[in-house]
Amino acid sequence: MYSKRKKGLVPQKLTPDQLLIRLQQYCAYRERCPKEIRSKLKDLGADTEIARQIMQVLEGDNFFNEKRFALAYAGGKFRVNNWGKVRIRLELKMREIDPDLIEEALDSIEMEDYEATLSKLIERKLSQYANDPKAREKSAASLIRAGFEPALVFKML
């Protein structure tokens, strides 16, 4: 939505209906947290009152849900990216998710799966550093950076 002027392209102000359609498409693409939606509204130039109304409409129509986002985010980052609970917690806090929802999302990760993933990652890291005398320390440091709890990492090593 740009108009031509003498010195290049200038963004046109979107109407509330256009903003709503844009945000519906934005939310339908993947799960979004409220912070991402507020940021997108700001980027699109929505004023405070219109942004608040659009947020209410989107939430009422179930285009976004903080609990659904937290559960999907925690599960996805654990299964796909092999992140530990420490890192997932920090990332959800940065997205301003309610602390109770963060704990619920982390609790949704089965401890058996969590330990099995950590065990698999430990084996992978130890074989990666097979000829290194500091293999254990390097493996532990790598897994702690990935967000696994230090006590659990050292226990399983």
For 6-57, the pLDDT digits (tens) are: 454 546 788 999 999 999 999 999 999 999 999 999 999 999 999 999 999 9
d(CA 139, CA 129): 8
Residue 149 within a domain:
yes
Q: Count how many domains the chain has.
A: 3
DSSP designation for 146: T
Residues 57 and 76 in one domain: no
Would you give the end-to-end CA distance of the chain in angstroms?
Answer: 56
Residues 102 and 118 in one domain: no
- Domain ranges, residue 94: 66-109
Per residue in 97-133, pLDDT tens? 999 999 999 999 999 999 999 999 999 999 998 888 8
Pair 121, 141 in one domain? yes
> Does some domain include residue 5?
no
Do 103 and 118 reside in the same domain of the chain?
A: no
Does one domain contain both 44 and 88?
A: no
Residues 35 and 51 in one domain: yes
